[in-house]
């Protein structure tokens, strides 16, 4: 019988479903292993062939671990809140829940066809009230917590209140927005409202006036990782800066731990590096410059304390609070005009233009080391959000200061020996200091590194400032002016935010008449009727962002039906954290930071027992599309084949890859594809129309989308799984090319044929050759899966089948072992074999074959013999022969004479089992 993938795959998928083969239970007697995929956002377009790549890899790994005897948790769910469903709702008036529901159903049917071992009984959806109850719950815990910098962990806000009541702000070190100083008496005299407002400065989930990325077209704010090059990641609309009152998460408090704990996880270097850069630790000094004639001190942050003798001016960010204080009456007009100009420039314009601009405030600062007066300027190249929003400018050794100094003709003083600053600044932190001597401090002759250390020490000793570590990581903005997200369990009384009672959870998302903002600019929830508490207080109208629901979903899978806790103690202590996480690297600065933050917060509260959520992480590469082109001769309806296109004046046109096979166009299908092409003419080469190709993003508009359903229909899920792995290393981005799939399909057919022959044979011992082929395979596959090298595994299967075929092997035992080995890769065909071999249960539970090194031991070893490093011939020596015997055999070989050409070798190197190299 021929290999009939349709029949086999249908049969075993039903078998798995009926017998609940992939249902997982906590089992204290077995070691756990948690394999997780980043759950998908169910978009309307459905899955294309690139999406399942990571799922297939993780499925192979989980099936392998399961066969090795681990209790494997391998769940799947949906990141169901998101903009596209809402945008669609705005256009059609359809509730996003409905489209989301439909898309999920489509995803599920597509996923089911591929034969994954997901435990669907643990499915989660972020938009399900049973799920988002716990998202809201976590928010409440953050609202009720502050971060204690001394204890380095989150603490109940009640503890902070008690401290304020007893001692005021002294003697406690909470992470905060602004450093506030007050006494217990002052605190106790505050009104309820004032106390609440002040506490916002400390809560981990807090409300604050912050500069946000505002996207007018989307009508919402966006997080930093949702903006790229001044445009929104979703939709590509311009984004501007705006000061707004928003919910935020104090992620910045966790910056040191997020950075340090990267050492504890097995992630790729590049990913760790991306996170390190995003967190952006920089060690420097914060110091104060007095302002001449004013009772104001200008506080600045610098990493180059050594360059203090080269400070020739100061610069303030336009938004800095100092601007108003330091602008003199004479300059007030000019400064006002400049601020107005900057305000109207969007982030994007600022980035594209990168024009040097600025204005003088009229005030002068005093360099505390030299006593010299230096002008204070305002410019938009200084950011309000980083450091103190003010800098000391050292034009000789900072390229931005240099450009500014050149533009406004300010002095440039070089501080490093040999640095030529006539054309550009010298930014490198190396060389010997010059021009750096004042009454109290002399840096001349020191190396930059030592000069920085010495200056820092001096600053602290003299009380000019303090050593400080700054982080670039911003707090996460947690409000979205949208409908399709989790509502905040927050209401407003007397204009201040109060948490609802936990018993109100889940706070359900109410229906609205329209998904657009209200006339007075309120978010869509402003339209909801009765959006008030039972007492009549208005409820928050913003919703939470996408990353809210995706930050702790891995915990919910451990205990998905628990309506008393986010996760029970028992479930958490058994499953602990994710052993292997597979997903795209594009989440490096978003989800993977937020998730780590969220987990650490829950860890501080004692809810979870592991400080890092994802132990090992593998980034699967993107599958790009392979677009095919036809070449239309200009102003005609004639198309010329790729090889002949140079002879004509042509326009390349993208053509649907589904009517092209091995770059040969199906001309009939092409005529039917579009009415315009119905009477197309073709200029062929060798009777064929050959298309050109290019690698591009896989998308509908490029006509290069390949649907996994079509592949499964034609070749079967096992072929799809093997082929996706065979394409190349999982971590690498590569184009999808359906052309190669026949090879993998042929392999499965060969395996099928081999099995059918072996199946009929009575059981007998494997021959030595068969044992060798089989054990070589066990060794290779076991190593490859551990190393996530699935492309070479597939090749190894092909080699083994070819070897057994040429041995004319029909051994049942050999086939039984291969069945167990291939089960993670091609579970359907393996399950079929497993049952035909008379086994019961599922091959998913079949023990992983044990490798016997003795099977690979040879009587003789083949040695390549090299002369001066170049291989010339081969000899065979008994295995285990001592070096000098191998050497003797090599030199005694007839072929050796030719290469020695009468000379005696200077040296002979024998590497046992590897090579003999003769140096002449």
Site for RNA in 658-687 (CB under 7 A): 662
Q: Which is nearer to RNA, 505 or 909 (CB)?
A: 909
Phi, psi of 684, deg, nearest 5: -95, 160
Closest approach of RNA to the CB of residue 394, in Å: 7
The answer to whether 366 touches 373, Cβ cutoff 8 Å, is yes
Restricting to residues 539-598, name those near RNA by CB under 7 A. Answer: 585-586, 588-589
Tokens at 553, concatenated: 């979903």
Q: Is 381 among the residues that bind RNA (CB under 7 A)? A: yes
Tokens at 474, concatenated: 């911003």
Name the region of 379 (left: φ>0; alpha: ψ -120 to 50; beta: rest).
beta
Stretch in the footprint of RNA (CB under 7 A) among 188-196, 325-333, 736-744, 844-852: 736-744
Binding mask 383-422 for RNA (x = CB under 7 A): x-xxx-x-x--x---x-x----------------------
- Give the one residue of 735, 824, 827, 849 binding RNA; rule: CB under 7 A: 735
Between vectors from CA 682 to CA 679 and to CA 687, what angle results, nearest 5°?
135
Q: Which is nearer to RNA, 119 or 225 (CB)?
A: 225
Q: Is 346 among the residues that bind RNA (CB under 7 A)? A: no
The whole-angstrom separation of Cα 675 and Cα 638 is: 14
Restricting to residues 352-371, name those near RNA by CB under 7 A. Answer: 354-355
Q: Which is nearer to RNA, 33 or 693 (CB)?
A: 693
Residue matched to tokens 């005093």: 366
Closest approach of RNA to the CB of residue 447, in Å: 18
Closest approach of RNA to the CB of residue 754, in Å: 11
- Give the one residue of 109, 158, 173, 277 binding RNA; rule: CB under 7 A: 277
The whole-angstrom separation of Cα 639 and Cα 651 is: 9
Q: Reduced to 3 states, what is the DSSP secondary structure of residue 532?
A: strand
The whole-angstrom separation of Cα 849 and Cα 656 is: 45
Q: Which residues contact 683 (CB under 8 A, 6 or more apart)?
A: 638, 639, 640, 641, 644
- Give the one residue of 150, 269, 420, 676 binding RNA; rule: CB under 7 A: 269
Among the listed residues 138, 133, 139, the one whose alpha carbon sits nearest the alpha carbon of residue 505: 133
Closest approach of RNA to the CB of residue 405, in Å: 13
The DSSP secondary structure of 282-332, one letter per residue, reads: EEEEEEEEEBTTSS-EEEEEES-GGGGGG--EEEE-TT-THHHHH--GGGH
Stretch in the footprint of RNA (CB under 7 A) among 533-541, 732-740, 760-768, 810-818: 732-740
Closest approach of RNA to the CB of residue 96, in Å: 27
The DSSP secondary structure of 443-466, one letter per residue, reads: -TT-BHHHHHHHHHHHHHHHTSEE
Among the listed residues 44, 26, 12, the one whose alpha carbon sits nearest the alpha carbon of residue 114: 12
Stretch in the footprint of RNA (CB under 7 A) among 195-203, 553-561, 605-613, 726-734: 726-734
The whole-angstrom separation of Cα 640 and Cα 688 is: 10
Q: How far apart are the first and last CA of the chain?
A: 61
Is the alpha carbon torsion for 686, 691, 695, 697 positive or negative? Answer: negative
Closest approach of RNA to the CB of residue 164, in Å: 31
Stretch in the footprint of RNA (CB under 7 A) among 7-15, 42-50, 742-750, 849-857: 742-750
- Give the one residue of 12, 33, 164, 301 binding RNA; rule: CB under 7 A: 301
The answer to whether 652 touches 629, Cβ cutoff 8 Å, is yes
Stretch in the footprint of RNA (CB under 7 A) among 15-23, 80-88, 103-111, 276-284: 276-284
Q: Which is nearer to RNA, 134 or 547 (CB)?
A: 547
Q: Is 267 among the residues that bind RNA (CB under 7 A)? A: no
Q: Which residues contact 529 (CB under 8 A, 6 or more apart)?
A: 510
Q: Which is nearer to RNA, 562 or 789 (CB)?
A: 789
C-alpha distances (whole Å) from 782 to each of 160, 779, 790, 821, 849 are: 54, 5, 10, 9, 9
Closest approach of RNA to the CB of residue 848, in Å: 21
The answer to whether 737 touches 626, Cβ cutoff 8 Å, is yes
- Give the one residue of 309, 364, 553, 747 binding RNA; rule: CB under 7 A: 747
The answer to whether 59 touches 111, Cβ cutoff 8 Å, is no
Closest approach of RNA to the CB of residue 380, in Å: 6
Q: Is 274 among the residues that bind RNA (CB under 7 A)? A: yes
Q: Which is nearer to RNA, 325 or 799 (CB)?
A: 799
Among the listed residues 207, 202, 186, the one whose alpha carbon sits nearest the alpha carbon of residue 495: 207
Q: Which is nearer to RNA, 285 or 571 (CB)?
A: 285
- Give the one residue of 64, 278, 478, 575 binding RNA; rule: CB under 7 A: 278
Relative to beta strand 664-665, strand 145-148 is unpaired
Q: Which is nearer to RNA, 349 or 373 (CB)?
A: 349
The whole-angstrom separation of Cα 868 and Cα 917 is: 7
Q: Which is nearer to RNA, 778 or 844 (CB)?
A: 778
Q: Is 822 among the residues that bind RNA (CB under 7 A)? A: no
The DSSP secondary structure of 625-651, one letter per residue, reads: EEEEEEEEETTSSEEE-GGGGGGS-EE
Restricting to residues 460-489, name those near RNA by CB under 7 A. Answer: 470, 472
Q: Which is nearer to RNA, 249 or 316 (CB)?
A: 316
- Give the one residue of 47, 140, 200, 744 binding RNA; rule: CB under 7 A: 744
Tokens at 864, concatenated: 């390549």
Q: Which residues contact 313 (CB under 8 A, 6 or more apart)?
A: 374, 375, 376, 377, 393, 395, 405, 410
Q: Which is nearer to RNA, 542 or 751 (CB)?
A: 751
Closest approach of RNA to the CB of residue 757, in Å: 14
Considering just the CA atoms, what is the radius of gyration of the chain in Å? 34
Tokens at 750, concatenated: 């060969």
Stretch in the footprint of RNA (CB under 7 A) among 76-84, 360-368, 437-445, 790-798: 790-798
Q: Which is nearer to RNA, 165 or 340 (CB)?
A: 340
Q: Which is nearer to RNA, 415 or 566 (CB)?
A: 415
Q: Which is nearer to RNA, 597 or 723 (CB)?
A: 723
Relative to beta strand 860-867, strand 915-919 is parallel
Restricting to residues 842-901, name those near RNA by CB under 7 A. Answer: 862, 864, 866, 868-869, 871-872, 874
Among the listed residues 153, 155, 154, 172, the one whose alpha carbon sits nearest the alpha carbon of residue 163: 172
Restricting to residues 604-663, name those near RNA by CB under 7 A. Answer: 662
Among the listed residues 606, 830, 561, the one whose alpha carbon sits nearest the alpha carbon of residue 11: 830
Binding mask 58-77 for RNA (x = CB under 7 A): --------------------
The whole-angstrom separation of Cα 502 and Cα 271 is: 38
Q: Which is nearer to RNA, 42 or 621 (CB)?
A: 621
- Give the one residue of 109, 173, 188, 270 binding RNA; rule: CB under 7 A: 270
Q: Which is nearer to RNA, 279 or 607 (CB)?
A: 279
Stretch in the footprint of RNA (CB under 7 A) among 168-176, 243-251, 788-796, 831-839: 788-796
Residue positions counted in the chain: 920
Binding mask 219-238 for RNA (x = CB under 7 A): -----xx--xx---------
- Give the one residue of 184, 190, 467, 799 binding RNA; rule: CB under 7 A: 799
Side-chain half-sphere of 630: how many Cα atoms within 13 Å? 27
Closest approach of RNA to the CB of residue 280, in Å: 5
Q: Which is nearer to RNA, 312 or 866 (CB)?
A: 866
The whole-angstrom separation of Cα 251 and Cα 259 is: 12
Stretch in the footprint of RNA (CB under 7 A) among 4-12, 86-94, 459-467, 912-920: 912-920
Binding mask 315-334 for RNA (x = CB under 7 A): --x-----------------
């Amino acid at each position: 019988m021929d290999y009939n993938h349709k029949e086999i795959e249908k049969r075993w998928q039903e078998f798995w479903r009926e017998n609940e083969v992939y249902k997982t239970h906590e089992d204290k007697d077995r070691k756990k292993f948690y394999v997780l995929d980043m759950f998908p956002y169910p978009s309307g377009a459905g899955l294309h062939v690139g999406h399942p790549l990571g799922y297939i890899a993780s499925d192979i790994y989980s099936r392998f671990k399961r066969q090795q005897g681990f209790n494997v948790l391998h769940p799947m769910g949906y990141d169901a809140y998101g903009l596209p469903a809402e945008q669609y709702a705005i256009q059609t008036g359809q509730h996003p829940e409905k489209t989301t529901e439909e898309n999920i159903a489509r995803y599920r049917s597509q996923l089911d066809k591929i034969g994954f071992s997901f435990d669907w009984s643990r499915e989660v959806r972020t938009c399900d009230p049973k799920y988002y109850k716990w998202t809201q719950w976590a928010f409440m815990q953050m609202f009720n917590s502050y971060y204690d910098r001394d204890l380095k962990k989150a603490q109940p806000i009640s503890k902070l209140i008690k401290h304020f009541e007893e001692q005021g702000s002294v003697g406690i070190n909470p992470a905060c927005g602004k450093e506030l100083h007050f006494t217990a008496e002052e605190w106790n005299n505050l009104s309820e409202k004032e106390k609440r407002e002040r506490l916002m400065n400390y809560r981990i989930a807090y409300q604050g006036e912050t500069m946000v990325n505002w996207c007018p077209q989307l009508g919402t704010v966006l997080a930093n990782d949702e903006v790229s090059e001044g445009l929104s990641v979703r939709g590509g609309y311009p984004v501007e800066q705006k000061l707004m009152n928003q919910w935020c998460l104090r992620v910045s408090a966790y910056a040191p731990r997020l950075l340090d704990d990267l050492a504890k996880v097995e992630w790729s270097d590049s990913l760790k590096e991306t996170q390190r850069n995003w967190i952006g630790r920089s060690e420097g000094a914060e110091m104060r410059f007095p302002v001449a004639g004013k009772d104001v001190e200008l506080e600045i942050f610098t990493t180059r304390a050594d360059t203090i003798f080269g400070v020739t001016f100061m610069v303030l960010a336009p938004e800095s609070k100092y601007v108003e204080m330091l602008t003199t009456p004479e300059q007030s007009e000019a400064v006002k005009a400049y601020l107005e100009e900057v305000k109207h420039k969007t982030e994007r314009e600022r980035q594209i233009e990168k024009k040097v601009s600025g204005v003088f405030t009229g005030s002068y600062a005093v360099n505390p080391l030299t006593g010299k007066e230096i002008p204070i300027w305002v410019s938009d190249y200084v950011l309000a959000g980083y450091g103190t929003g003010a800098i000391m400018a050292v034009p000789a050794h900072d390229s931005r200061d240099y450009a500014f100094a050149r533009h406004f003709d300010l002095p440039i003083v070089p501080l490093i020996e040999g640095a030529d600053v006539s054309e550009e600044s010298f930014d490198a932190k190396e060389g010997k200091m010059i021009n750096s001597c004042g009454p109290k401090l002399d840096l001349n002759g020191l190396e930059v590194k030592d000069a920085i250390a010495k200056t820092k020490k001096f600053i602290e000793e003299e009380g000019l400032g303090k050593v400080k570590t700054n982080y670039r990581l911003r707090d996460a903005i947690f409000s979205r002016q949208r409908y399709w997200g989790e509502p905040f369990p927050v209401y407003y009384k007397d204009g201040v935010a109060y948490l609802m009672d936990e018993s109100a959870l889940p706070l359900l998302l109410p229906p609205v008449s329209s998904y657009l903002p209200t006339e007075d600019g309120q978010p869509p929830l402003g339209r909801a009727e009765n959006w008030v508490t039972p007492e009549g207080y208005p409820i928050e109208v913003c919703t939470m962002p996408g990353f809210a629901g995706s930050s702790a979903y891995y915990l919910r899978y451990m205990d998905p039906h628990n309506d008393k806790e986010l996760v029970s103690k028992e479930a958490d202590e058994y499953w602990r954290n994710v052993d292997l996480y597979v997903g795209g690297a594009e989440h490096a600065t978003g989800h993977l930071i937020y998730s780590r933050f969220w987990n650490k917060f829950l860890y501080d509260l004692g809810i979870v027992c592991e400080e890092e959520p994802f132990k090992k992480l593998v980034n699967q590469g993107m599958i790009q599309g392979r677009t095919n082109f036809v070449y239309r001769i200009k102003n005609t309806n004639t198309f010329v084949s790729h090889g002949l296109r140079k002879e004509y004046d042509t326009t390349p046109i993208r053509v649907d890859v589904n009517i092209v096979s091995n770059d040969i166009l199906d001309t009939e299908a092409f005529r039917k594809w579009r009415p315009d092409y119905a009477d197309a003419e073709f200029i062929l080469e060798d009777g064929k129309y050959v298309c050109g190709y290019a690698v591009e993003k896989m998308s509908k508009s490029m006509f290069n989308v390949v649907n996994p359903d079509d592949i499964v229909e034609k070749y079967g899920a096992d072929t799809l799984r093997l082929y996706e792995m065979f394409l190349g290393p999982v971590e690498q981005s590569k184009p999808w090319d359906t052309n190669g799939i026949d090879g993998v399909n042929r392999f499965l057919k060969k395996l099928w044929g081999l099995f059918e022959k072996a199946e009929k044979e009575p059981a007998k011992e494997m021959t030595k050759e068969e044992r060798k082929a089989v054990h070589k395979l066990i060794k290779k596959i076991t190593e490859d899966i551990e190393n996530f090298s699935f492309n070479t595994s597939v090749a190894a299967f092909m080699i083994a089948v070819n070897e057994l075929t040429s041995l004319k092997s029909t051994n049942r035992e050999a086939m039984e072992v291969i069945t167990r080995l291939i089960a993670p890769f091609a579970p359907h065909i393996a399950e079929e074999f497993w049952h035909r071999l008379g086994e019961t249960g599922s091959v998913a539970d079949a023990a992983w074959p044990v490798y016997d090194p003795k099977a690979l031991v040879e009587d003789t070893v083949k040695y390549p013999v090299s002369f001066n490093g170049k291989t010339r011939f081969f000899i065979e020596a008994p295995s285990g022969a001592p070096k000098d015997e191998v050497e003797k055999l090599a030199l005694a070989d007839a072929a050796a004479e030719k290469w020695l050409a009468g000379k005696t070798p200077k040296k002979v190197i024998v590497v046992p089992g590897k090579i003999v190299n003769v140096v002449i």
